[in-house]
């Protein structure tokens, strides 16, 4: 009788909630991050490599520096603040520096960083969203780190779009929910 009850339970109970009880906020964020990855890839692909070093002003980041800065911040926030890896140091990191990298190498690095961040977030324990950490001297929840990450990507991608327009290139059409 116990076997019949167990089999009936397993047959008629959705598996997904049993295997991965994911928070709606996290699943929505992952969807947004995946859409952002696709859109950023389009932006990076459309800019000719000869314009990757273009700066809107002397003190601005170049197109390639904005691209790689997005990658560094995505890696740092996801893997170090939300995950448990030792943080990279921006001043000494070479993985996310644009110098001596081709357009193809930069795009591959960014794409891989998004894939790694999404994989980490798929495993993120929703019970930890309200855990607080020191974020440059201010207490912030991990939920706030998720939101800050989305803002940061949008901010630097927006600068990349301006660079494209100033070079006479029409950016790809905006994609909703990213």
pLDDT, tens only, 59-99 = 999 999 999 999 999 999 999 999 989 988 888 899 999 99
pLDDT of residue 18: 39
Provide the pLDDT for residue 178.
Answer: 65
Q: What is the pLDDT of residue 15?
A: 40
C-alpha–C-alpha distance, residues 167 and 47, integer Å:
9
Distance of CA 94 to the CA centre of its chain: 19
Return averaged pLDDT per consecutive 10 residues of the chain, 178 residues in all.
51 44 88 96 98 97 98 96 90 91 98 97 96 95 96 97 98 82
SS (H, E, C) 81-101: HHCCCCCCCCCCCCCCCCCCC
Buried b (16+ CB within 10 A) or exposed e, 143-175: bbbbeebeeebeebbebbbebbeeeeeebbeee
For the chain, the residue count is 178
What does CATH list as the number for 22-166?
Answer: 1.20.120.450
> Tokens standing for 106?
């930069």
In this structure, the number of other CB atoms found within 10 A of the CB of residue 88 comes to 16
pTM of the model: 0.85
Looking at residue 56, the DSSP 8-state letter turns out to be S
The confidence score (pLDDT) of residue 3 equals 56
Per-residue CA distances from 5 to 11, 16, 18 (Å)? 10, 20, 17
77 annotated as a binding-site residue:
no
Residue 156 marked ligand-binding:
yes
User: What ranges do the domains of the chain cover?
Assistant: 22-166
Q: Is 155 annotated as a binding residue?
A: no
């Amino acid at each position: 009788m116990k076997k019949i009850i167990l089999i009936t339970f397993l047959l008629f109970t959705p598996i997904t909630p049993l295997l991965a009880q994911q928070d709606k906020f996290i699943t929505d964020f992952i969807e947004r991050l995946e859409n952002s990855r696709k859109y950023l890839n389009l932006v990076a692909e459309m800019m000719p490599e000869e314009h990757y070093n273009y700066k809107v002003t002397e003190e601005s980041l170049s197109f390639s520096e904005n691209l790689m800065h997005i990658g560094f911040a995505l890696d740092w926030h996801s893997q170090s603040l939300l995950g448990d890896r030792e943080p990279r140091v921006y001043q000494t990191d070479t993985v996310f520096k644009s110098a001596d990298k081709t357009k193809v190498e930069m795009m591959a690095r960014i794409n891989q960083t998004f894939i790694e961040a999404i994989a980490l977030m798929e495993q993120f324990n929703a019970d930890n969203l309200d855990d607080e950490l020191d974020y440059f001297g201010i207490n912030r929840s991990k939920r706030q780190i998720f939101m800050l990450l989305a803002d940061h990507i949008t901010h630097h991608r927006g600068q990349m779009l301006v660079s494209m327009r100033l070079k006479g290139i029409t950016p790809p059409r905006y994609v909703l929910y990213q």
